[in-house]
Structure 1
């Protein structure tokens, strides 16, 4: 009997060879292959591109638009989490594109390549908006001008002062940023404003600056600065058509409010 038991215990079934002294461990599930994960991401990108191609921007929410923008910067991997982190950090797509590079890099996953793509898209958007007003009579393209100023300045973190230079027919001949300041102040020098107008042979100006706080109500310093530029320009027969203060969602016109 003992001999039969020993012979039975020594028999090993095919496929069950193991060392009796080694403790049994539960089998681990095979790790998912990296190639399969990447194939899944490629398929997701292709579906997203197809949905955008067939339905346009209306077919995809902001985070998916941002996902696709990030494809060029992040060739492999999932860009959806980063797109959502950016929107959470800055609030909306406009603020993401307008954010300063240093602030963008505070978001996990943002490097130089991502910053480059975002600022490139921002620059293209500004150029498209400006093309609607450049070399055209401003006073008959006023709504397009306001849209351009909102696009270029409403979401900036610092105050910026820019000047739109017009010729005798009120056609926009130049659009230039003059100064960038702090969150609530930008230095403006009337003499430099008038000097630049003479260099461009401009006959009229529209002054524009933004309020990062979001409230376009002009401060007393804004009013005083406007009058100082107007007085300097009057001497040379240069007209100040307006001073626009750009807020987050509204624009204030000095002329409409009776300041000019």
Structure 2
């Protein structure tokens, strides 16, 4: 009984409260409100602008630090890389020197780890391969002299120790082999002329080009360079092997002992 004297009819209440089918009304849940979008870090917008500019004007229009920065975008995707790019250039002195630096020196730079250092060395190897592919080795190598200089510069100019590279050629002056014969110190490479000529005979080479680097950056040949060149030329001549040239590669350029009339 209600307080007003009416009888409570349970069956009528249920019939009124539920749909005619006897099923319960569905419960509708509202999706929780989405959190506000997080703001992108400041460097994200800068990175997008740099990429857009690169696609529009190309790498030639970029300063060294800008090109290095965009390369580091790939290597380190979630970091503002402009400060790191400038720090690397300050430490090593030039764009090419950054990539030519030893893994140990690169790892000493704050912001670079084993993965990023490996990526930089892969980029260096890719650039060197690209330079090498610019030379048509099916034709006489002397006809691609400028490309050869570019290749040797990319391979050796920024090495921290001296290396002697020998290009072995056939009778048509086409490349048979490109080998680093000796590795030395920061200012000296031990060269054994008879070993150089012996290797030429093993490869049936009829001509060679010597190439070595000066880590100091100055490509001026030393008196020891001249003596070694003349000795190799003399031994080779007696065995029918021609020494076309001896190139000295440095960061500031290159020197040709043949052009300088030093042998």
Q: TM-score, normalised by structure 2?
A: 0.80
Unaligned runs of 5+ in 2: 1-35
Unaligned runs of 5+ in 1: 1-32
Provide Cα deviations, 1:68-124, integer angstroms capped at 9, x if missing partner.
212233121211111111011011101111111111122211211221121111111
* CA gap 1:134/1:191 in 2 versus in 1, 3 angstroms: farther
**What does residue 205 of structure 1 align with?**
208
DSSP 3-state at the match of 2:168: strand
- From 221, 225, 247, the counterpart of 2:224: 221
Matched, 1:133 2:127: no
- In 2, Cα distance between the equivalents of 1:90 and 1:231? 40
Provide Cα deviations, 1:126-176, integer angstroms capped at 9, x if missing partner.
111112225131222112212222222122211111011111111123211
Q: Is the 8 A contact 1:134 1:174 kept in 2?
A: no
Q: Is the 8 A contact 1:134 1:173 kept in 2?
A: no
- From 160, 164, 167, the counterpart of 2:163: 160
After TM superposition, where is structure 1 displaced by more than 6 Å over at least 4 residues in a row?
none
**What does residue 55 of structure 1 align with?**
57
Q: TM-score, normalised by structure 1?
A: 0.81
Q: Is the 8 A contact 1:86 1:96 kept in 2?
A: yes
Q: Is the 8 A contact 1:51 1:59 kept in 2?
A: no
Q: Is the 8 A contact 1:226 1:243 kept in 2?
A: yes
Matched, 1:184 2:190: no
Q: Is the 8 A contact 2:65 2:82 kept in 1?
A: yes
CA shift, 1:34, in A, is 11
CA shift, 1:36, in A, is 2.5
CA shift, 1:227, in A, is 2.1
Q: What aligned pairs does 1:87-102 form with structure 2 within 5 A after superposition?
A: 87-102=89-104
**What does residue 232 of structure 1 align with?**
235
DSSP 3-state at the match of 2:239: coil
CA shift, 1:240, in A, is 0.5
Q: What aligned pairs does 1:102-113 form with structure 2 within 5 A after superposition?
A: 102-113=104-115
Larger radius of gyration: 2
- In 2, Cα distance between the equivalents of 1:115 and 1:179? 26
DSSP 3-state at the match of 1:72: helix
- In 2, Cα distance between the equivalents of 1:122 and 1:128? 10
- In 2, Cα distance between the equivalents of 1:247 and 1:34? 53
Q: Is the 8 A contact 2:247 2:257 kept in 1?
A: yes
CA shift, 1:253, in A, is 0.9
Q: What aligned pairs does 1:21-60 form with structure 2 within 5 A after superposition?
A: 35-38=38-41, 40-60=42-62
- In 1, Cα distance between the equivalents of 2:85 and 2:221? 35
The number of equivalent residue pairs is 227
CA-based RMSD = 1.9
DSSP 3-state at the match of 2:110: coil
- In 2, Cα distance between the equivalents of 1:69 and 1:173? 35
Q: Is the 8 A contact 2:164 2:213 kept in 1?
A: yes
DSSP 3-state at the match of 1:36: coil
